Amino acid sequence: MTKTHISKLELFDTHAHLGMIDEGCQDELLINEQFEGQFSSGVNTQEDFGESYIFQMIGIVNPGTTVDSSRQSLKFAQKYHFLNAAVGIHPNNTGNANPNDWSEIVELSRNQYVTAIGETGLDRYWDTVPFEIQLQFFERHLELAIKRNLPILIHSRDCDDDMLAVLGNMAKVSPVYGIIHSFSSSPDVAERYLDMGLYLSFSGAVTYTNKKFVRLRESAKIVPDDRLLIETDSPFLTPHPYRGKLDNNVPLMTAYVAKTLAELRGATLETIVATTTANARKIFRKK
């Protein structure tokens, strides 16, 4: 009887909000489970992948969305070497920012454990913050990322034209280095971001087969290997086939994002995991 070869696949989640994953959970328990490869109850990896794979997280980027969550991100990164801190104010939180919040983000960004600026960007889906305020904060984040020589984590929802215009103007002054997180747009938009030198990160949304996600899945096929990243955007966007079946999405579910990307791109799972992990290591300067 031939013994089954088991491959260990090392995953890197480039965007997960650990502090938002089930307020009742214990942070240390959650983090340790991810790096020990312990999937959530109800997830059957043997059925979904066969018995040939085991998974382990080797990196997670934990973006701030407010000053408080940015502080928490930094605290986690100082305690766990495999966590990466990012500090910033989410566009939908900029309307509630206190006068001193931005100066604190600037100060936090000086810390050696901060490996990215964000989450920042623009959002026209939620009509909660005047666009002018979002734009002001986004430009501040862009300038800070350039000043600190750090990648920027960009949120763009229902505002492709606005985002392309802002980034295009910034690129005339200095190259924009960073990630369009949870990319959700068409191949044409993807090409324009790629032309600027940006990375595109795919979340659980790419696993959805509804008609509205067709253009996203087409985009996933055209991204060059060296610009491809995966994420969960935990606790949101749980991938198929567990969408609506789990209380929270968690970083290990990047395995399912990688699985879909492999299918869409005609690649092996091993190749997608190795490629995206290598890209994440590069952009976040992790050995």
278 phi, psi to nearest 5 deg: -65, -40
Instruction: List the domain range (segments joined by +) for residue 235.
Output: 8-65+75-283
The answer to whether position 263 is within a domain reads yes
The answer to whether position 3 is within a domain reads no
The answer to whether position 1 is within a domain reads no
**Percent of residues, the chain, with pLDDT higher than 90:** 85
3-state secondary structure of 120: strand
Q: Average pLDDT of the chain?
A: 94
Domain count for the chain, please give it: 1
Q: What is the pLDDT of residues 132-179, one digit of tens each?
A: 999 999 999 999 999 999 999 999 999 999 999 999 999 888 999 999
pLDDT of residue 69: 96
pLDDT of residue 26: 66
* 125, pLDDT greater than 90: yes
The answer to whether position 57 is within a domain reads yes
Q: What is the pLDDT of residues 255-281, one digit of tens each?
A: 999 999 999 999 999 999 999 999 999
The answer to whether position 184 is within a domain reads yes
Number of C-beta neighbours around residue 273 at 10 A: 25
* 3, pLDDT greater than 60: no
The answer to whether position 210 is within a domain reads yes
Whether this model's pTM surpasses 0.85: yes
The b/e string for 154-190 (b: 16+ C-beta within 10 A; e otherwise) is: bbbbebbebbbebbeebeeeeebbbbbbbbbbebebb
The answer to whether position 276 is within a domain reads yes
**162-87-36 Cα angle (round to 5):** 115
pLDDT of residue 29: 85
* 1, pLDDT greater than 50: no
The answer to whether position 235 is within a domain reads yes
The lowest-confidence range among 2-16, 35-49, 180-194 is 2-16
Provide the pLDDT confidence category of residue 286 given band limits of 50, 70 and 90. Answer: confident
Q: Residue 259's closest CA among 49, 56, 57?
A: 49
Domain holding 29: CATH number? 3.20.20.140
pLDDT of residue 205: 98
